[in-house]
């Protein structure tokens, strides 16, 4: 049943909200658990459809996965793996599951993983993953839509990435954990999620230094030296930025808990330049507010620590009703202005020229029926609905559910008028917070 949001805009958001675990980190941590021929427990795991998919990938490989909703933890027992094949039916649902390739190679020197296919926000090729694995000694062939990788042994080497690809950095880190000798990844991605993965791998017995810089060194260890552990995922910086934008866009004031401000330095700086106030209350708590109409800014999306592409659509929504003209340059993906047609339906004045968007602030957005084309565009349209005059209907919520846990519930607690419904059962539905997944089989 296709679900939708009905939003009555114009409410000022106030109160407190707590940020969940980082989606883009926990998916990779879960994949990494199969390096341990034992039981591993991950805390601060958000209740997301993407997490479900990754758990199903692991279960299909033979791992036993239990999600504890109450304590937001996942326990993975990877003692007895029965398969090295990650099927298309699962990998095609979520590109991040391709990270299982490096994990399988590190554990057993063999992997058969479906190619992830295209993505709504643009082409993200896997060439860097393949070339890096070949440099480590893997023999790879691609046939019938699958990557077949095998190696009698993996040997550390120097690998230079033409671009600081997050996925390639993670896959090569995982593959190098049990390689002979040292591997050096140059021009590596520097995102906080990379650091989180490295910290987890070190916790289970790996030897990794340099994560968070452009050069990561992985000193190979023996498979049998990797051991069970417990680990807590970092907070989701993109979810934090989303709620910050929602509060600022409605000229509200809120306390945001469980956030690492240093992970959002560039984004925070831009919000402050727009006229927002951001105060550090505690090391992992901030107060965000805005009293007046915001001012326009220009920015270019860049790899971390630059402006995050995952917050580009959300920032664009703020610019639609800001003073002056703002210019956004999307430098990472060729098709990440998917939200533009729907923002125009709501009255936004946006001119798009290839990877540039010129946004002239209008007095007010007006409610309309819009469609979430991808995860972040969907979140941006929800914020637009909160800011708009009148009623907004946001369709295709399955995109939003990939990356935001209890989104409408958290927004409602801040004072938003938002309900989830479908055409056959128009009444608000029970929050997903009451769901307990139990064992994934």
Residues 159 and 103 in one domain: yes
pLDDT at res. 432: 36
Neighbours of 78 (CB within 10 A): 22
Residues 14 and 40 in one domain: no
Domain boundary among 188, 216, 244: 216
Give which of 174, 182, 120, 169 is closest to 149, Cα–Cα: 174
Residues 345 and 361 in one domain: yes
Domain boundary among 184, 216, 248: 216
User: For the segment 391-429, what is each residue's pLDDT rounded down to a tens digit?
Assistant: 999 999 999 999 999 999 999 999 999 999 998 776 454
The Cα 346–Cα 344 span in angstroms is 5
Section 360-367 average pLDDT: 98
Residues 263 and 147 in one domain: no
| Structural domain that includes position 142 | 23-216
Residues 346 and 414 in one domain: yes
Residues 396 and 256 in one domain: yes
User: For the segment 152-179, what is each residue's pLDDT rounded down to a tens digit?
Assistant: 999 999 999 999 999 999 999 999 999 9
Residue 223, domain member (yes or no): no
Work out the pLDDT band at 353, boundaries 50, 70, 90: very high
Query: Can 65 be counted among the known catalytic residues?
Result: no
The Cα 412–Cα 322 span in angstroms is 25
Q: How far is CA 417 from CA 3, 225, 239, in A?
A: 17, 53, 19
Residue 226, domain member (yes or no): no
> Does pLDDT of 1 surpass 80?
no
Q: Are 428 and 421 in contact (CB under 8 A)?
A: yes
The Cα 93–Cα 77 span in angstroms is 23
Residues 201 and 329 in one domain: no
Q: Token digits for 432?
A: 């997903």
Residues 325 and 181 in one domain: no
Residues 109 and 193 in one domain: yes
Residues 285 and 360 in one domain: yes
Work out the pLDDT band at 360, boundaries 50, 70, 90: very high
User: For the segment 201-231, what is each residue's pLDDT rounded down to a tens digit?
Assistant: 999 999 999 999 999 999 999 999 999 999 9
Helices (H) and strands (E) in the chain, counts: 14, 25
pTM of the predicted model as reported, rounded to 2 decimal places? 0.94
Number of domains in the chain: 2
User: For the segment 5-47, what is each residue's pLDDT rounded down to a tens digit?
Assistant: 999 999 999 999 999 999 999 999 999 999 999 999 999 999 9
> Does pLDDT of 344 surpass 80?
yes
pLDDT at res. 283: 98
Residues 8 and 29 in one domain: no
pLDDT at res. 426: 60
Catalytic residue among 119, 120, 163, 425: 119
Residue 83, domain member (yes or no): yes
Residues 391 and 432 in one domain: yes
Residue 222, domain member (yes or no): no
Residue 224, domain member (yes or no): no
User: For the segment 87-132, what is each residue's pLDDT rounded down to a tens digit?
Assistant: 999 998 888 899 999 999 999 999 999 988 544 544 557 889 999 9
> Does pLDDT of 388 surpass 70?
yes
Domain boundary among 182, 216, 250: 216
Mean pLDDT of the chain: 93
The Cα 38–Cα 312 span in angstroms is 40
Section 300-319 average pLDDT: 97
State the CATH number of the domain containing residue 415.
3.65.10.10
Residue 229, domain member (yes or no): no
Q: Are 411 and 246 in contact (CB under 8 A)?
A: yes
């Amino acid at each position: 049943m296709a679900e939708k949001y009905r939003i009555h805009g114009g409410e000022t958001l106030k109160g407190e909200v707590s940020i969940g675990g980082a989606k883009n980190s926990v998916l990779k941590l879960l994949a990494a658990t199969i390096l341990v021929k034992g039981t591993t427990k991950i805390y601060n795991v958000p209740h997301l459809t993407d997490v479900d998919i990754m758990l199903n990938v692991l279960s299909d490989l033979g791992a036993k996965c239990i999600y504890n909703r109450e304590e937001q933890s996942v326990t993975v027992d990877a003692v007895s793996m029965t398969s090295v094949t990650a099927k298309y039916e699962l990998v095609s649902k979520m590109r991040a599951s391709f990270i299982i390739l490096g994990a399988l190679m590190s554990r057993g020197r063999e992997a058969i993983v479906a190619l992830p296919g295209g993505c709504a926000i643009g082409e993200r090729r896997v060439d860097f993953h393949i070339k890096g694995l070949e440099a480590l000694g893997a023999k790879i062939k691609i046939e019938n839509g699958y990557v077949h990788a095998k190696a009698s042994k993996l040997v550390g080497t120097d690998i230079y990435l033409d671009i600081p690809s997050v996925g390639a950095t993670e896959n090569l880190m995982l593959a190098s954990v049990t390689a002979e000798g040292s591997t050096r990844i140059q021009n590596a991605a520097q995102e906080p999620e990379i650091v989180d993965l490295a910290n987890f791998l070190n916790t289970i017995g790996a030897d990794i230094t340099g994560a968070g810089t452009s050069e990561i060194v992985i000193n190979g260890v023996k498979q049998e030296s990797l051991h069970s552990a417990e680990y807590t995922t970092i907070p989701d910086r993109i979810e934090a930025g989303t709620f910050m934008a929602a509060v600022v866009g409605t000229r509200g004031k809120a306390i945001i808990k469980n956030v690492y401000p240093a992970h959002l330095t560039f984004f925070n700086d831009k919000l402050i330049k727009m006229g927002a106030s951001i105060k550090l209350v505690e090391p992992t708590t901030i107060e965000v507010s805005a009293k007046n109409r915001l001012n326009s800014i220009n920015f270019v999306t860049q790899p971390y620590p630059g402006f995050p592409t995952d917050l580009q659509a959300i920032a664009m929504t703020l610019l639609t009703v800001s003073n002056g003209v703002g210019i956004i340059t999307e430098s990472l993906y060729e098709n990440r202005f998917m939200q533009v047609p729907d923002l125009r339906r709501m009255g936004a004045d946006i001119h798009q020229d290839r990877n540039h968007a010129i946004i002239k602030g209008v007095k007010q957005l007006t409610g309309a029926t819009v469609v979430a084309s991808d995860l972040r565009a969907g979140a941006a349209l929800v914020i637009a609905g909160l800011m708009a005059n009148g009623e907004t209907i946001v369709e295709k919520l399955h995109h939003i559910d990939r990356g935001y846990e209890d989104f409408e519930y958290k927004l409602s607690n801040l004072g938003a008028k938002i309900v989830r419904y479908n055409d056959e059962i128009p009444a608000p539905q029970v929050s997903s917070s009451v769901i307990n997944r139990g064992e994934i089989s």
